[in-house]
Amino acid sequence: MRTYDAVVIGGGIVGAAIGYGLAKRRVNVAVLDEGDTALRAARANFGLVWLQSKGDGMPAYGHWTRRSTELWPDFAAELADATGIRTEYEKRGGLVICLGEAELESRRQLALRLHNQAAVYDTEVLDRAALQALVPKMRLGAEVTGASYCPHDGHANPLLLLKALHAALKSHVAAYLPDAPARAIAYRGGSFTVETPAGPIAAARVVLAAGHGSAALAPALGLSAPIRPERGQILITERLDHFLPLPASGLRQTADGTVMIGATHDNPGFDVSTTADASAKLAHRAVRIAPDLARARLVRTWAGLRVLTPDGCPIYMESATCPGAFLAICHSGVTLAAVHAVDLAGAIADGALPARLAPFHPGRFDVSKAA
């Protein structure tokens, strides 16, 4: 039986970031991955490193996200140095472009509400002229009234991020085990045994970060993973001359010139098929914002499944009945990758979650206790 200090179950962006952070701290760690058959949230990820809309009703989420946006520049540089893989990360701010006065007023109210809960956003609401000055090469549609702008926002390539994290695990002598999903976990005598198709693995600590796979494994560890899938469909265009210097929610131009258009929010269970109706709605809104996109050819559409908790905020938990077992769930794997690799991995290496993560405990969903 192979034995490690820690085993991270889940080789997506969340699990790989935590595993990388542990390996950097010289923890002997193995990351177990289901492989290419996994329901990778990274496939449906828009690549935003995003603060401005996070944390309404949970100020701790705003602070946690702001912390990650501050860590991201060094995190991206560190991954590039370790692996030679650049994540295409840029931090120039981000936009939510509004159609009509009602949408702009809604953004204004959200920005004010979030600021009153946690003064970490620095979000500005721009009128049409101010927005046009930020995107001088983009012809705005007639319905565009303005946008919200947050200077802490940015974007990266989620697939390159995942590739870099996997490469960084190897460069730090961590064991990355593809095609080795956890089938069962047992806790006995202060140690965990994880059953996998590649044989049993023992460890003093276990981190459950398997996305949708966490729900079935959590109860055996005294953990709670109330999650559901949400399908996101994305369109991508041919390569175009660069016209959009900042990422926008639902519209961003990548480093190679393609334009990503997204994303839908529907709940068909674990169905990852695409629909013509969703594609039409995405394309219609994109053209209302940037009319010149009507001439662009769409080259691909795909869908993936996000991992959502009841309130959309992350879950972090350590087990009271199986000491050394931890749970990490979020739908913002790209945004939070830096803080997962630094702060969360550091806490797990030390053996306890800090008090500032207490608001993310799933006990918040227990109405009887909350009352």
Taking residues 245-274, report their average pLDDT: 91
| Percent over 70 (pLDDT), the chain | 96
Report the Cα 285 to chain-centroid distance in Å.
24
Q: Do 216 and 238 share a structural domain?
A: no
**pLDDT at position 284, please?**
97
125, 151, 177 - which closes a domain: 151
Angstrom distances, CA of residue 9 to CA of 14, 154, 188, 342? 10, 28, 18, 18
Q: Do 176 and 61 share a structural domain?
A: yes
| CA atoms of 202 and 37, how far apart (whole Å) | 24
Residue 52: both structure tokens together: 């401005």
Residue 274: give its domain's CATH number: 3.30.9.10
Query: How many domains does the chain fold into?
Result: 3
**pLDDT at position 370, please?**
47
Q: Do 269 and 133 share a structural domain?
A: no
**CB neighbours of 57 closer than 8 A, spacing ≥ 6?**
117, 311
Q: Do 9 and 70 share a structural domain?
A: yes
74-77 long-range contacts, CB within 8 A, separation 24+: 74/338, 75/337, 75/338, 75/341, 75/342, 76/156
**pLDDT at position 270, please?**
86
| Helices vs. strands in the chain: H and E counts, helices first | 10, 17
By the 8 A CB rule, do 270 and 304 touch?
Answer: no
Q: Do 327 and 221 share a structural domain?
A: yes
- Give DSSP secondary structure letters for 142-168: TTEEEEEEETT-EE--HHHHHHHHHHH
128, 151, 174 - which closes a domain: 151
Q: Do 15 and 124 share a structural domain?
A: no
Residue 30 lies inside a defined structural domain of this protein: yes
Question: Is it true that the peptide bond before 263 is cis, omega within 30 degrees of 0?
Answer: yes
**pLDDT at position 195, please?**
97
Residue 262 half-sphere exposure, CB side, CA atoms within 13 Å? 27
Tens of pLDDT, residues 16-63: 999 999 999 999 999 999 876 666 666 667 899 999 999 999 999 999
Q: Do 65 and 173 share a structural domain?
A: yes
Residue 359 lies inside a defined structural domain of this protein: yes
Q: Do 211 and 76 share a structural domain?
A: yes
Tens of pLDDT, residues 209-257: 999 999 999 999 999 999 999 988 999 999 999 999 999 999 999 999 9
Q: Do 57 and 130 share a structural domain?
A: no
Residue 89 lies inside a defined structural domain of this protein: no
Report the Cα 292 to chain-centroid distance in Å.
30
By the 8 A CB rule, do 338 and 326 touch?
Answer: no
| Percent over 90 (pLDDT), the chain | 88
Tens of pLDDT, residues 89-129: 999 999 999 999 999 999 999 999 999 999 999 999 999 99
Show the domain range for 296: 228-308
